[in-house]
Amino acid sequence: FISDMTDYQRRVHYLLAEGFSGVDIAARLNKDPRSVSYARKASKSDIVLDLDRAIIANLQDIRSGQ
């Protein structure tokens, strides 16, 4: 998914991953919040973040022997 994102969508994605809200990202990138929302939806960033979190959780379980 990430390789299919535009540069702008990728920046939004990484800021979301760091915990910034859509409004915070819009302010940081000097964009309209609707633009950030669109980039988030178009890039399927929420799906990618959910997958990242699931992979990390599984790796942590494996490392802890569960």
Tokens standing for residue 33: 């919040």
Looking at residue 42, what is its pLDDT?
86
Tokens standing for residue 56: 């990390």
pLDDT in tens, 6-56: 999 999 989 998 999 999 999 999 999 999 999 988 888 778 778 878 888
Number of Cβ within 10 Å of residue 6's Cβ equals 11
In this model, does residue 1 exceed pLDDT 70?
no
Distance CA 9, CA 40 (A): 7
Looking at residue 21, what is its pLDDT?
95
Residue 22 is classified by DSSP as: H
